[in-house]
């Protein structure tokens, strides 16, 4: 960071270039890989697991033929084994999944579990999410955790000893934004996105909506886009609101992203490409879709670009598992 500042001031002798032009000229616009962000978390997780008497056990249920889900399962298995966890992948028919989840809820050997969605692609998937015991829900999709997230409640108990679990993909994006310096650490915790504008192109119940709420709870103005409409998530004026507010708004993608400090995409189709000419120069761009939502040209506009987040998501999933174990021990 200090070298970057030095080089920018040094090159400013060449004329009145914008900060973004200076970044391009000095070569500091870069692609940031999820593996480099995840490393510190994985190291921390591994050290804690080494203090346990037995390996924590994570069970994953795969009941679809989605290549992205299988890839995610493979990454999870690899990271678990490298970090000292035992990972069990159970491939089951979708009709058998409910019984399998209920059995794992009662199995004391299982510390955490997850289902690779979509399974049915209907509201039945939401039922399956709520079927997992909150004590074993590593993805943070239980209604208890989601209610806390939307109301900006960070603990499960009055004594504030048991931390609430956050959905692992939205949490991964928050950790990436912290790593990239988007969060302002000079502002008190809980307000560190104050003054930032962020666009999220995805409003799924698993990632997009809880992500927008998390970012708004931390002080950002968030424009949330999906097929049907646009919503603005805010925490109201000033820093005193406890949790976010949502309003339908009439704003185009171009106008929203042109004023956004961060653009986050999660469109689950191979054909979708974000029009990078809409970007504000120097914006931070993050893609959490399994498809590449940004063309390589994004590097001509963005200051920092994270093309995928899978490895950070898995590290947050394991972090959640350790938190569940801690909560149970309280």
Active site residues: 168
- For residue 29, how many other CB atoms are within 10 A of its CB? 18
E strand or H helix that includes residue 115: strand 112-116
Instruction: Name 180's Cβ contacts closer than 8 Å, sequence gap at least 6.
Output: 32, 284, 304, 306
Give the end-to-end CA distance of the chain in Å, rounded to a whole number: 40
**Preceding amide of 118 cis, omega within 30:** yes
CA proximity to 212, closest of 276, 150, 142: 150
Distance CA 283, CA 275 (A): 13
Distance CA 260, CA 255 (A): 9
Q: Are 37 and 175 in contact (CB under 8 A)?
A: yes
CA 12 to each of CA 2, 8, 18, 29, 30: distance values in angstroms, whole numbers, following the listed order = 16, 6, 9, 17, 20
Angle at 81 between CA 78 and CA 84, to 5 degrees: 145
List the alpha helices (DSSP H) in the chain: 2-11, 19-26, 34-49, 67-83, 97-106, 124-131, 143-150, 168-179, 208-217, 253-258, 310-329
């Amino acid at each position: 960071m200090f070298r970057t500042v030095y080089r920018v001031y040094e090159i400013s002798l060449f004329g009145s270039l914008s900060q973004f032009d200076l970044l391009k000229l000095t070569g500091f616009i870069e692609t940031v890989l999820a593996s480099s962000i995840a490393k510190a978390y994985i190291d921390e997780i591994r050290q804690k697991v080494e203090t346990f008497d037995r390996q924590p056990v994570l069970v994953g249920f795969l009941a679809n033929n989605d290549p992205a889900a299988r890839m995610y399962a493979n990454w999870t298995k690899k990271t678990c084994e490298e970090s000292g966890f035992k990972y069990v992948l159970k491939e089951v028919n979708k009709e058998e999944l409910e019984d399998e989840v209920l059995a794992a809820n009662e199995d004391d050997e299982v510390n955490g579990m997850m289902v690779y969605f979509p399974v049915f692609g209907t509201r039945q998937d939401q039922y399956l999410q709520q079927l997992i015991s909150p004590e074993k829900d590593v993805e943070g999709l239980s209604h208890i955790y989601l209610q806390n997230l939307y109301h900006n409640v960070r603990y499960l108990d009055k004594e504030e000893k048991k931390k609430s679990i956050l959905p692992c993909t939205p949490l991964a994006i928050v950790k990436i934004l912290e790593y990239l310096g988007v969060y302002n650490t000079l502002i008190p915790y809980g307000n560190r996105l104050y003054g930032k504008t962020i666009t999220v192109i995805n409003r799924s119940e698993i990632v997009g909506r809880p992500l927008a709420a998390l970012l708004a709870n931390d002080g950002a103005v968030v424009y949330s886009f999906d097929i049907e409409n646009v919503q603005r998530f805010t925490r109201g004026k000033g820093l005193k609101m406890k949790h976010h507010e949502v309003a339908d708004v009439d704003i185009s993608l171009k106008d929203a992203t042109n004023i956004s400090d961060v653009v986050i995409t999660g469109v689950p189709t191979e054909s979708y490409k974000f029009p990078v000419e809409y970007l504000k120069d120097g914006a931070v761009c993050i893609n959490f879709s399994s498809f590449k939502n940004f063309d390589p040209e994004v590097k001509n506009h963005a200051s920092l670009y994270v093309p995928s987040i899978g490895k950070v998501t898995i590290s947050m999933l394991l972090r959640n598992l350790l938190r569940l174990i801690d909560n149970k021990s309280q």
